């Protein structure tokens, strides 16, 4: 009994410290928005930026001009300084954004092609009466729904197409397409002469590796050059001088960063016409726009070139929310990508389904009473890292049962493990983590009753597309640019 009471007290202590010691916002925000929207939106546009880490975006303080178009759009938005994805892998991250639940609940814990062959037929998102996509809920309310995606990990074979009446993806045997094609599809959808409320999802893949990607024109790959500021930036994060990737061999950390930044700039240029179209007075008056990354990227931090683990640089993503009647602001509260759909339903009443709202695990990001709470995360490897993050602390639980603990205020890059010095905090956060995983799995069991798969099964051509994107079928060794992505 005493042990149980101690654990409860420690959880309360960790949560209280998180709330009390939240980092101040970068700039003083205006007064918080009202609980009920002053102006209701009619349409919702979700823009997901694959493999974009927050600290390589200009409005998040990056010293390079990687995102001028996005930065201009951010001036219209509420910008969230600390948004975490629950997983650093494309398919499960998007499944969480489109269902509003954590990965163990919707059942996709990695990109499907990394599962054992005998498990692959069940890889796709399985929906049920208690687990639907937001597109399914919106369509049932009479809304127009359209999705325009750019790469294989979110093609309709994953089941993410559930509920979308209009769907565009790369052609068969093509692993990806450039952002301009996604923008063209999206603009056609938005320009349709239809009075119904709508939900549109646009997915962009231009920032995604391999680290020497074939998509951007050469001028983008040569746009950024090594300078002292870059070397300092890498040193602060403990990045090794040389990195190794399964498909590219050895590459210097500076070159990897230069190439990645060129790809981010290429992505930003693709976004320009879309963001301009969404910035007209008419669109600002009737459209909720959310721009968010699906996961980050390693670039050599923690000895990892690509993405897959549960470190901060892998999970922290940019998040911009523009809603009619809501003034621009900067919010430092710790939030999650599972908070997107509760926010949409609060701001677009025509798309609010009470039953779907009950499914969602997130919170309304624009609620003035929004408070930080512990957030769950996991890596996308076969034997994953599990993570729980508070305002102050980050606990990583390794597959062998070891734990690492980081004080995010003094050590934002997670370089100094304090687990041995803080056993009480480790115990409290392990309990939070175990309780959350148990909650997700119990909810998953309920959802599976009557579940159906929206996917169309594994096509060998899909595996070839993924190889072209630089994914290793076996998940890699955890060090290269594949390793659990």
Report strand pairing: 242-245 vs 249-252.
antiparallel
DSSP-derived secondary structure for 112-176: GGGS-GGGGGG-S-EEBTTB--HHHHHHHTT-EEEEE--BGGGSGGGTTTTT-SEEE-PPTT--B
Predicted model pTM: 0.86
CA distance 63 to 446: 47
Q: What is the pLDDT at residue 303?
A: 84
Domains along the sequence of the chain with CATH:
39-371+454-468 (3.40.720.10)
Pair 163, 145: CB distance under 8 Å:
yes
pLDDT per residue as tens, the chain (485 positions):
433 443 444 444 444 444 333 333 333 343 344 445 668 999 999 999 999 999 999 999 999 999 999 999 999 999 999 999 999 989 999 999 999 999 999 988 876 654 554 555 567 898 988 899 999 999 999 999 999 999 989 998 889 999 999 999 999 888 899 999 999 999 999 999 889 999 999 999 999 875 656 678 889 999 999 999 999 999 999 997 777 665 556 788 899 899 999 999 999 999 999 999 999 999 999 999 999 999 999 888 888 887 889 999 999 999 999 999 999 999 999 999 999 999 999 999 999 999 999 999 999 999 999 999 999 999 976 668 999 999 999 999 999 999 999 999 999 999 999 999 999 999 999 999 999 999 998 888 888 776 665 554 445 665 565 556 554 433 333 333 333 33
- Four-CA torsion 244, 53, 148, 270, nearest 10 degrees: -90
DSSP-derived secondary structure for 387-455: EEE-SSEEEEE-TTS-EEEEETTT-TT--S--TTT-HHHHHHHHHHHHHHHHHHHHHHHHHTTT-EE--
Pair 485, 471: CB distance under 8 Å:
yes
Burial of 478 (0-12, 13-18, 19+ CB in 10 A): middle
Here the tokens at position 336 are: 């999650």
CA distance 87 to 471: 17
Helix axes 423-447, 2-20, angle to 10 degrees: 90
Q: What is the pLDDT at residue 162?
A: 96
| Distances, alpha carbon 64 to alpha carbons 223, 257, 445, in Å | 11, 11, 47
Pair 307, 51: CB distance under 8 Å:
yes
Torsion over CA: 458, 169, 149, 211 (sign): positive
The conformation of residue 110, written as its DSSP 8-state character, comes to S
Closest CA to 290 of 9, 13, 83: 83
CA distance 485 to 482: 5
CA distance 354 to 137: 10
Torsion over CA: 367, 368, 374, 378 (sign): positive
Query: What are phi and psi for residue 27, nearest 5 degrees?
Result: -135, 150
């Amino acid at each position: 009994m005493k042990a149980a009471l101690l654990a409860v007290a420690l959880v309360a202590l960790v949560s209280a410290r998180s709330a009390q010691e939240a980092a101040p916002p970068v700039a003083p925000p205006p007064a918080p928005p009202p609980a009920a929207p002053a102006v209701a939106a009619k349409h919702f546009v979700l823009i997901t930026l694959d493999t974009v880490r927050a600290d390589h975006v200009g409005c998040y303080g990056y010293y390079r001009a990687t995102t001028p178009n996005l930065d201009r759009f951010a001036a219209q938005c509420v910008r969230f300084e600390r948004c975490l994805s629950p997983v650093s892998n494309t398919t499960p991250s998007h499944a969480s954004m489109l269902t509003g639940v954590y990965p163990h609940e919707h059942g996709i814990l990695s990109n499907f092609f990394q599962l054992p062959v005998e498990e692959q037929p069940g890889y796709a998102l399985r929906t049920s009466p208690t687990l639907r996509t937001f597109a399914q809920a919106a369509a049932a309310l009479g809304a127009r729904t359209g999705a325009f995606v750019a790469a294989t990990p979110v093609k309709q074979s994953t089941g993410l197409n559930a509920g979308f009446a209009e769907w565009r993806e790369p052609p068969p045997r093509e692993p990806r397409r450039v952002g301009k094609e996604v923008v063209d599809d999206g603009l056609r959808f938005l320009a349709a002469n239809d009075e119904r409320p709508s939900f549109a999802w646009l997915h962009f893949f231009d920032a995604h590796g391999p680290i020497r990607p074939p998509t951007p024109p050469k001028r983008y790959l040569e746009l950024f050059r090594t300078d002292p500021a870059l070397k300092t930036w890498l040193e602060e994060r403990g990045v090794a001088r040389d990195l190794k990737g399964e498909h590219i061999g050895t590459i210097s950390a500076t070159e990897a960063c230069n190439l990645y930044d060129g790809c981010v700039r290429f992505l930003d240029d693709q976004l320009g016409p879309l963001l301009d179209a969404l910035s007209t007075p008419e669109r600002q008056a009737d459209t909720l726009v959310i721009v968010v990354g699906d996961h980050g990227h390693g670039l050599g931090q923690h000895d990892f070139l690509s993405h897959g683990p549960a470190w901060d640089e892998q999970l922290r993503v940019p998040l911009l929310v523009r809603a009619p009647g809501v003034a621009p602001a900067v919010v430092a509260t710790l939030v999650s990508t599972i908070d997107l759909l509760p926010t949409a339903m609060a701001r677009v009443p025509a798309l609010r389904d009470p039953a779907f709202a009950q499914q969602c695990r997130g919170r309304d990001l624009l609620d003035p009473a929004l408070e930080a709470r512990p957030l769950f995360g996991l890596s996308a490897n076969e034997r994953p890292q599990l993570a729980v993050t508070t305002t102050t602390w980050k606990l990583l639980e390794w597959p062998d049962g070891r734990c690492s603990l980081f004080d995010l205020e003094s050590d934002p890059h997670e370089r100094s493990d304090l687990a041995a010095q803080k056993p009480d905090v480790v115990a409290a956060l392990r309990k939070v983590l175990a309780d959350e995983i148990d909650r997700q799995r119990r909810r998953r069991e309920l959802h599976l009753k009557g579940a159906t798969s929206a996917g169309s099964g594994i096509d060998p051509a899909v595996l070839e597309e993924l190889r072209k994107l630089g994914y290793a079928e076996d998940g890699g060794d955890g060090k290269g640019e594949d390793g659990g992505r």
